[in-house]
Structure 1
Amino acid sequence: MNIKELLNRSDQFLAERGIESSRLDAEVLMADLLDMERINLYVKYDYPLKSSEIDSYREMIKKRAQRMPVAYIIEKKEFMSLEFKVAEGVLIPRPDTENLVEAVIEYCRKAELESPQIIDVGTGSGAIAVSLAHYLENAKVVGVDLSLQALKIARQNMEKHELAERMSILKSDLLAEFIKRGIKEIDIIVSNPPYISETEMEELSPEVKKEPETALKAGENGLEYYRRLIPEAEKVLKKGGRLFLEIGYRQAESVSSLFGDNWTDIEVKQDYSNNDRIVTAVLEKRAESKTN
């Protein structure tokens, strides 16, 4: 059997099971199996596949038919033009989150921060932290998470992109470890926290439901982590430091309202689809930690 024949059969098989992107997924999985660019499949349609390749590919297709995300099957995902390792138990990086990274990069360059100290809260695969360390050549970045699986994957991505000299991975429940250590002169805190409400969780696609619930679900109205993170950021950011938060497209007003008198310059930014995607604010007055 050649590439074209197996692709056609797999496309039909996935489509019959409700996979809307059946052809694309079949091609991505085939390209990964054969370690080639997807576009090269078209010029090698007549390439005869080995029985071992056919067996491996069928296992991949079977997983996709069971609604396992493609990124988990091939164990990688592109983000900010960089390749990241991903695995089950870790949130898959989304294109929307590139807006968050770009907003931080733009701010650092406009503010001419020479060596910004940045914390990425809820780092997951490390996509945000690694991207910031990669594109901001003098930045010092710490990615934090509570999940041991996420910390393991984030470290692998940090090492993959050779950023260990300017980047570190730390286990922490939001900013608890920084507060405990008395760290309070951070330039930027960035986070794509869980922000999906209990009601919205029920409406998610089967693929998204394969991802860790702890990285998605945020209480009854999706604001649980913002309510915790904003007060903690007041104890860790330096005066004039900035907090960047990714939000759900209907959360701009409710998240903005959580910033108290210690904050100024609250701004909502849109993504490429003109949906509200980021809330950012500047710390005008620091809140001292009880441990100080």
Structure 2
Amino acid sequence: MNIKELLKRSDQFLAAQGIKSSRLDAEVLMADLLDMERINLYVKYDYPLKSREIDKYREMIKKRAQRIPVAYIIQKKEFMSLEFKVEPGVLIPRPDTENLVEKVIKYCRQQGLKTPQIIDVCTGSGAIAVSLAHYLQKAKVVGTDISNSALKIARQNMKKHDLTERMSILKSDLLKEFIKREIKGIDILVSNPPYITEAEMETLAPEVKKEPKKALVAGKDGLDFYRRLIPEAEKVLKNGGKLFLEIGYQQAAAVREIFGANWSEIEVEKDYSENDRIVSALFKEKEAE
């Protein structure tokens, strides 16, 4: 059996299972199996597959039919044009989150922050932290998470991109560890925290439900982490430091209300789909009267 024949059968099989991206998924899995770019599959349509390749591919297709995300099957995901290792137990990086990274990079360059100190809270796979350290080549970045699975993967991605000299991964429940150590004067805090409501979780696609619930759900209204993180940020940021948050598309107004008197320049920005996606704010501690 050649590539063309097996792709056609796999596409039809996945489509019958209700997977809308059946053809794309079949091609991505085949490209990973054969260690080639997806576009090269068309050049090698007539390539005869070995029996062991067919067997391995069928196992991959079987997993996809069980609605296991493609990224978990091939154990990698591209983000900000970088490749990241992912596996079950860690959130899969989303294209929408690239907006958040790009916003932080743009801000640092506009402000002339050549050696910014950055903390990425709820780092997960480390996609945000690694991307910032990669593109801001003199930044000092710390990625934090409470999940041991996430910390393990984040460290692997940090090493994969050769960033151990300017990056570190620290276990912390939000910013508690930094507050405990009395670490202050941080330039930038960035976070893509859990923000899905408990009710929304029940309506999500089967693939999303395969991802860690703790990395997705934040209470009945999806705001639990913002209520904790914003006050904690005041104890860690420098005066004039900036906080960048990813939010759910309906949460902008509610998140704005959480910021207290020490915050100004609160801005909401949209993602590529024109949905509210990023809230940023400047921390400026008011002097006691």
Aligned to 2:141: 141
Distance 1:258 1:87 in 2: 34
Q: For 1:92-241, what aligned pairs fall within 5 Å after superposition? A: 92-241=92-241
Contact 1:31 1:41 in 2 (8 A): yes
Measured against aligned partners, the alpha-carbon deviations of 1:15-43 in whole angstroms (never above 9, x if no partner) come to 00000000000000000000000000001
Distance 1:92 1:2 in 2: 31
Q: For 1:9-158, what aligned pairs fall within 5 Å after superposition? A: 9-158=9-158
Measured against aligned partners, the alpha-carbon deviations of 1:211-237 in whole angstroms (never above 9, x if no partner) come to 000000000000000000000000000
Distance 1:150 1:273 in 2: 28
Distance 2:198 2:75 in 1: 28
Q: What SS does the aligned partner of 2:24 have?
A: helix
For residue 114 of structure 1, report the CA deviation from its aligned partner. 1.9
For residue 273 of structure 1, report the CA deviation from its aligned partner. 1.3
Amino acid at match of 1:199: A
Distance 1:270 1:70 in 2: 27
Distance 1:286 1:227 in 2: 20
Distance 1:191 1:162 in 2: 22
Contact 1:10 1:61 in 2 (8 A): yes
Contact 1:3 1:44 in 2 (8 A): yes
For residue 95 of structure 1, report the CA deviation from its aligned partner. 0.1
Distance 1:140 1:221 in 2: 34
Measured against aligned partners, the alpha-carbon deviations of 1:97-126 in whole angstroms (never above 9, x if no partner) come to 000000000000000012100000000000
Q: What SS does the aligned partner of 2:155 have?
A: helix
Measured against aligned partners, the alpha-carbon deviations of 1:36-82 in whole angstroms (never above 9, x if no partner) come to 00000001111000000000000000000000000000000000000
Measured against aligned partners, the alpha-carbon deviations of 1:141-166 in whole angstroms (never above 9, x if no partner) come to 00000000100000000000000000
Contact 1:238 1:286 in 2 (8 A): no
For residue 286 of structure 1, report the CA deviation from its aligned partner. 7.2
Aligned to 1:290: none
Amino acid at match of 2:222: G
Contact 1:72 1:87 in 2 (8 A): yes
Aligned to 1:245: 245
Measured against aligned partners, the alpha-carbon deviations of 1:241-290 in whole angstroms (never above 9, x if no partner) come to 00000000000000011000011110001111111100000101079xxx
Contact 1:239 1:286 in 2 (8 A): no
**Which runs of 5 or more structure 1 residues have no equivalent in the other structure?**
288-292
Distance 1:64 1:101 in 2: 29
Distance 1:79 1:114 in 2: 23
Report whether the alignment pairs 1:260 with 2:260.
yes
The TM-score, its normalising length taken from structure 2, stands at: 0.98
Distance 2:168 2:151 in 1: 10
Distance 1:119 1:268 in 2: 20
Distance 1:286 1:192 in 2: 27
> What's the Cα RMSD here?
0.8
Contact 2:261 2:286 in 1 (8 A): no
Contact 1:144 1:174 in 2 (8 A): yes
Runs of 4+, deviation exceeding 3 Å = none
Q: What SS does the aligned partner of 1:163 have?
A: coil
Q: What SS does the aligned partner of 1:235 have?
A: coil
Distance 1:166 1:187 in 2: 15
Amino acid at match of 2:213: E
Q: What SS does the aligned partner of 1:15 have?
A: helix
Distance 2:99 2:27 in 1: 27
* Aligned pairs, number: 287
Q: What SS does the aligned partner of 1:96 have?
A: helix
